[in-house]
Every structure is written in structure tokens, then in C-alpha cells.
Amino acid sequence: MKNTVMSVGGSLLVPNGIDAEYIGSLKQTLTSYESSHRLFLVAGGGRTAGQFIEAAEQVRAVAQEDLDWLGIHATRLNAHLLRTVFRESAHPEIITDPTRRLPVIEPVCIAAGWRPGWSTDYVAVQVARTYGSNMVINLTNTDYAFDKDPNKFCDASPLEDITWSEFLTCIPKEWKPRMNAPFDPIASRAASEFGMTVIIANGANLLNLEHILTGREYVGTTIYPDGKYKK
């Protein structure tokens, strides 16, 4: 059975409120692959995180570490929602330390945020490393990563096939909570160091996700280790 790591963006799970329809469709799609893939799903924070952080900031000045912990616990709440939805096929324990290998025999295992200073992108990379996968599928709310923020620059261009050294020039050098980056800088450097491939794709397009899982042509950005992709 192939270990497959997916980072499920909070913008998909909780864009404003909880998107139960999407979560149900995701479960229905992934259930078909539980016999061929062991699926590690890393839950993002989404508006769950945003609402808690905004509420705290309305009341007082909040230390960055406390803001991080609010975001981390939001991802854990979303992770428990996913584990409940996948209950029959999911490992009973949520991964909260991606460097500690759990005795996972079930076809699904859910992960969440770990420590302040690290995003769920970084957690996904560490889960992949711990469980012997050389790929992370990063599900977000856009079809591609872009060479610059498309919300700020009208001439932003989508990226399709790119190496880590090229990709790292397109994103900020430092990670900040709630930053707008297709894959955060710390996670990107770690994935590059570990020789991993990362696919960034629109998680709302579940047919496209099936194409990724079955090795067919798909829409998305693929970031390859340096030296392993030739244009």
C-alpha cells in the first residue's frame, strides 16, 4: 500500500463556515482509493483559525506564540472533524507530532498543526518524511501556484513544472502566520532538502485529484527536486 500525504487547506474545509458538503464529497472520493493508498490528511485551519485569532486581537495585544497556538488548535479541531467523518477507516489518534511514527495500519490517518513557527505545509513535509513518502499533494483553492501574488499583481503567471531552486525565488524567504504563499518557505526548503516532489492543485476539483492519485494528466503546479526535471 502506497503512503500518500495530502495537505488539505483550511480554505477548503472552512472557507467561511464549515463546508460539510465538500468534506462529504472528499470522503466519497478518497474512499475509492483506501485499498491502494494509505492516506495521510493534514488539516489546515481556515476560518476556524482566523476567527479565534481575530477575536483575541480585538480584546488585547497578543503574543505571536499565542496566535500560533490558536491556529494550531484550530487545525486540530478541523482534524478531529475529518477523523470523525472517516471514523470507520481512520487511525484513532491524530498526528500532532509528525516526527513521531504512529503504528498506523488503517487506510486513513489525520494530522494537524504541531508547534509555533511551523505551518501545516511543514507538518505535511515531515509526515511524508516520517512515513516514507517522497511526495506531498497540497490541496488549496487555486488551480496553480503563481510567480507572484495574483491578488496584488495582474500580471502574475501560473507555474506548471518548476524546480525547488526556481520556486524558492517566487516566495518570501521567511514564513509568517496567515501569509499568502502557495507553499510556505520553511516547508519548501525542507521539501527541497529531502528531495521531495510537491503538487499544488485545486482541492475543490475532485476529479483532478483522482487524476493525480492515478497518475493521469492533471491541472496543477508540480515542484521537482533540482536535477530531476528537465524542461
Q: Is the pLDDT of residue 23 over 80?
A: yes
CATH of 2-224, one of 3.40.1160.10, 3.50.50.60, 3.40.50.300, 3.20.20.70: 3.40.1160.10
The residue ranking higher by pLDDT, 113 or 182, is 113
Tens-digit pLDDT profile for residues 43-96? 999 999 999 999 999 999 999 999 999 999 999 999 999 999 999 999 999 999
How many C-beta neighbours within 10 Å does residue 187 have?
Answer: 25
CA distance 221 to 218: 9
Tens-digit pLDDT profile for residues 153-172? 878 889 999 999 999 988 87
Domain boundaries, the chain: 2-224
Q: Where are the beta strands (DSSP E) in the chain?
A: 2-8, 37-43, 108-111, 135-140, 145-146, 158-159, 161-163, 197-202, 221-224
**pLDDT confidence of residue 147:** 83
Q: Is the pLDDT of residue 230 over 60?
A: no
Predicted structure pTM score: 0.94
